[in-house]
Every structure is written in structure tokens, then in C-alpha cells.
Amino acid sequence: MELREQVAISDLTTMRLGGAARFVAEVHTSEDVAEAYRFACEQNLPLAVLGGGSNVVGRDEGFNGVVALNKLSGLQIVDETDDTIVIEAASGELLDGLAAFAARRGYTGLEATSAIPGTVGGAVMQNAGAYGQELSDVLTAVKAYDTQSGEFVVFKRDELELSYRHSIFNSSAKARYFITAATVALRRGEIEGELYGSLQAYLDAQGISDRRPMTIRAAVSAIRANKLPDPAEIASSGSFFKNITVREDQIEEYRERFPGIPIFLIGACWEIASGWLIEQAGLKGALLHGMRVSDKAALILINESALSYADLACARKEITQAVQEKFGLTLEQEPEEL
């Protein structure tokens, strides 16, 4: 385990905000994970887990504790037949790397999550998804370190309470577990059913008719590259607001009140596209307290000149108030805070 003191959270997160973490422990093995928690306990300090930092925002006061920086690595084929594959991915691996690993072998289930920044561990915690696919569609098991018992445990999928951007790891069991690995089961073939609107539109515009995993991966990667800032070059947390979930019996009412409102089914949830709400509220491209609402995708906030979390909080408040006043709907922030 590598240990550093007084490390700026702004250097560890893609929004590039936040004060200093008292300690940062880089963990490369399961043994490192347990050691990091023992160290935090000995110091009587809290511990927070951080992966790629693409879905975490640092606060101005910093973190008076231990940040465990997840560097666990490895992709392993657990089982493979002519039609299916089971892959175990270490939680520090990039989700995009796992998606590429599967798509290159001709397996469908994760190709639409291509180019999502962040690690497998973060994707499990948030039940990450895009363009009609979610991790919950293919996730079968999760390995984790239980900080209360000091033991490594295994969760089956049905124990994880998975729903839109939700799992036990960011709700009922938040901060209790360090996710160390995830197992996914995929099938050989092509993505089925009606495609997400913008994905289908891109394929149509390019004259592409096949749905092979590598074709969909390339299309999704191109769409994201056009709409989303590269966090290595531009300070952003990607999608800053969650889509708004609604009951099926509410859909007709919303469509009557707000013609053109995009409502779509993801998994078992009906969702309203929050980016559309922000755009209709007149904020697409707006600069608020140093935070730019992207002129390509209004769901994205870009840190152009904000110097503090306080600046971000002011921008967030103005955006949520504008949407609330126009639609009566409440936006919810997607990134976690540290």
C-alpha cells in the first residue's frame, strides 16, 4: 500500500474541485484494501473509496480521513461456451476496458456503456448505464471487503437492490463495503429490441444496419466523443444530473402538459431526459458561477473557471430552480461528494 499525505482532491477528480485529503492510500491488491482500513481505524479516521474520480466532486473543506485510491486490476474469463461468457473484472479496471474486452469477442450486453469514464467499482455502485444498457442487465455477483467484519464477502445480484443509478453500495450499505470485483454474464450476438433514440439516429445517418457489438461500441464512442468533454482535457464530471424516473401511469399526463418531452424505458424504469428539461429551461450553453452548461448536451456541467465547490453549488441551485419552476420536477445530482 502506498501512502501519501495532504493530497488535493482536485487532482484526483475530473471536476477538479476540492480541498486536501489528509491521507491517500493507493491499493493494488486485496491485502492493501484490508491494510488501508486497518490504518484508518488506527488513526481513528473515516475512509472513502475513490476510483477514476469521474463521478465524484470534492468539497472545499477537503476530507479529514483516508482516501483509498482503487488500483485493483485484472480481467479474467471465468467460463465460456459457444454462446455465453462469464467475466470477472477487478473493481479498479475501467468500465470501458471491460466493454471493449467483451465486444471484441463478439459478446453483447455492455457495448452501449463504451466510453463511460470511471471504474468497474464505481459502475457497480451507481449501476452505470447508457443508450439502453445498464450494468444490472448483466451483473451476476460482486466481491467486496466488509469493513465491519473485516472479511471478504460475495453478493449475488438479487442482494444488491439494483435500480436506476442505485445499489446498496450508495444507499443502505453506503461506506460499509469496498467493492473488489464484479462478475458479468454476457451472450454472443447483437443488441436486441428498439435502440435508444440518439443511437438509432446515428446509425441511420451513417447508413449502418448491423448491430454487432463492435459496431455499436464504435457508434456509442463516436456519439459520446461528440457530445461529452474528455475529462483528461476539460474539467467535468460527465452527466451531472440523473434522469427523472416516473411511474408509467404518469407518462400520458406529462406528454399532454409538455409536448415533445422525451420519456423512455430503461430496464424497468420510465425516465424523463433531464438534459431536455435543462435545455427547455433556457440554460443550454449558459455560464453560471464559472460552470458552463454544455451547448452539446445540457446534462453536462463543465468547470470553465469555478474555483470552489461553493461556485458549483450556486450553479446547481440555479439550474434545479429553473427546472422546478418550469416543469415542477426536481433534478438530482449524480456525482457523489467527497
Task: Quickly list H helices, the chain.
Answer: 30-42, 95-104, 120-126, 197-206, 213-227, 251-257, 274-280, 309-327
C-alpha cell at 318: 440555479
The answer to whether 217 is a known catalytic residue is no
Instruction: Kindly give, in sequence order, each residue whose CB lies less than 8 Å from that of residue 31, ignoring residues fewer than 6 positions away.
Output: none
Residue 86 burial (CB count, 10 A): 17
The answer to whether 334 is a known catalytic residue is yes
The catalytic residue among 16, 165, 224, 316 is: 165
Q: 107 with 187: CB under 8 angstroms?
A: yes
Pairing of strands 20-27, 63-70: parallel
The catalytic residue among 239, 292, 316, 336 is: 239
d(CA 191, CA 107): 9
d(CA 13, CA 16): 5
Report the candidate in 316, 318, 313, 321 with the shortest Cα–Cα distance to residue 61.
313
Q: Is the dihedral of CA 101, 106, 110, 115 positive or negative?
A: positive
Number of residues written out for the chain: 338
The catalytic residue among 88, 93, 111, 334 is: 334
d(CA 24, CA 7): 7
Instruction: Kindly give, in sequence order, each residue whose CB lies less than 8 Å from that of residue 317, ignoring residues fewer than 6 positions away.
Output: none
Amino acid present at 122: G
Amino acid present at 265: L
What are the CA-CA distances from residue 165 to residues 107, 212, 267, 268, 283 (Å)?
24, 26, 12, 12, 24
Pairing of strands 107-108, 20-27: unpaired
d(CA 284, CA 304): 15
Catalytic residue annotation: 165, 239, 334
